[in-house]
Amino acid sequence: MKTAIIGFAGSGKTSLYAALAGNAAAQSDRAMIKVPEPRLDPLIRLFTPKKVTLTEIEVQDTKGASSKGGLGEKILTEIRPFDCLLAVLDGFSGLHDPEGQRREIEADLIISDLSVIEKRLERVASDKKKAKALVDPREEECLLRAREVLESDRPLRADQDLAAAPELKGFRFLSAKPVLYAWNLDEQGFADRTMPEDGPGEVHVTVSARLERDLAEITDPEERKMFLGDLGVSGSALERIISRLYDLLGLVTFLTAGEKEVRSWPLKRGLTAPEAAGVIHSDIQKGFIRAEVLAYADLLACKDFKTAKERGLLRLEGKEYVVKDGDIITFRFNV
């Protein structure tokens, strides 16, 4: 699950990347970032584990494009394998219009996808002449529908069914990827900016990349409070950005707890208990018997596992069970 940070030159990509990646940012333009998980706290109190481990997602900083001529072929090719885009818009320098930058990025993604579709449709047409069997009619139908969406200036993500169609998966269409727009505003400009509404696969967040980078360097909690107080800001926007990204990637979190380790794990939304077991280890998936599941809200209500069990809230679930966000799971398995 990889996210690419994109945008025009000087929009604040590297500042935001440095804030997200912390120390790791100095070594490389690619880093694993920890997903904050406050729901681990009661589990940590209960188990006082030796180790606490957080789910991570991968982010990659990219080079900025000059605003003339759009993002450019090189970057558009580079980001094709990514699952999600984090687009940083310059709303702080006063040199650019962030809404204009957003429209340019959207246009670039759409045009790039259109050209892939045109090429493919030409190929399909010539295959059809040779032999009908060479062509999958469902693929052709999806391509035609996708072209219609793009030609009306909408990204493929606007049609979530089409964006997820198995016939189109292999093309890795750029405008089908979920995108988080980070409106990089100066610290004064937060209140009075109107932003586009969130849409399918599209989220808008305001941030000050510079403030976040400075804040990431302050570890002392008192000093942090003073720094934020002086600026009159309530807190960091990083957690919100990370959790919205996590959501856009289509991930939910399940938790495991014991004396050795308390841990959060990522899972594609809609997957089952054995598949969750497979995230931990393929042996646990292979030998899966049952999952002992406690919903996070039920743990909060009961305070501990014993009470939850007495109240019948610790459930035994089988192979078909679809894991929910916040499930605390103990797997029973044979090796």
Ligand X SMILES: Nc1nc2c(ncn2[C@@H]2O[C@H](COP(=O)(O)OP(=O)(O)OP(=O)(O)O)[C@@H](O)[C@H]2O)c(=O)[nH]1
Query: Among 3, 6, 15, 328, which residue interacts with ligand X (rule: CB under 6 A)?
Result: 15
Q: Which residue is nearest to ligand X (CB)?
A: 64
* Sign of the torsion angle spanned by Cα atoms 173, 138, 165, 198: positive
Q: Which residues pair with 165 in a beta bridge?
A: none
Binding segment for ligand X (CB under 6 A), chosen from 3-11, 234-242, 274-282, 283-291, is 3-11
Q: What is the C-alpha to C-alpha distance for residues 183 and 11, in angstroms, rounded to an integer?
A: 9
Quote the radius of gyration of the chain (alpha carbons, Å): 23
DSSP strand E in 114-231: where? Answer: 179-185, 202-207
- List binders of Mg ion among 181-240 (CB under 5 A): none
Query: Among 14, 112, 206, 256, which residue interacts with Mg ion (rule: CB under 5 A)?
Result: 14
DSSP strand E in 74-131: where? Answer: 84-91
Query: Among 145, 154, 172, 210, which residue interacts with ligand X (rule: CB under 6 A)?
Result: 210
CA angle, 72 as apex, 238 and 120 as ends, to 5°? 105
Q: How many residues bind Mg ion (CB under 5 A)?
A: 2
* Sign of the torsion angle spanned by Cα atoms 44, 46, 50, 54: negative
- Please report which helix (H) or strand (E) contains residue 258, including its range: none
- List binders of ligand X among 51-80 (CB under 6 A): 63-64
Q: How many residues bind ligand X (CB under 6 A)?
A: 16
Instruction: Say if CB 124 and CB 135 are below 8 A apart.
Output: yes
Q: Taking CB under 6 A as the rule, which mask of x and - marks residues 158-197 in contact with ligand X?
A: --------------------------x-x-----------
Binding segment for ligand X (CB under 6 A), chosen from 148-156, 202-210, 252-260, 319-327, is 202-210
Alpha carbon of residue 285 to chain centroid: 25
Binding segment for ligand X (CB under 6 A), chosen from 208-216, 254-262, 280-288, 294-302, is 208-216
- Residues within the interface to Mg ion (CB under 5 A): 13-14
- Residues within the interface to ligand X (CB under 6 A): 7, 9-15, 63-64, 92, 184, 186, 208-210
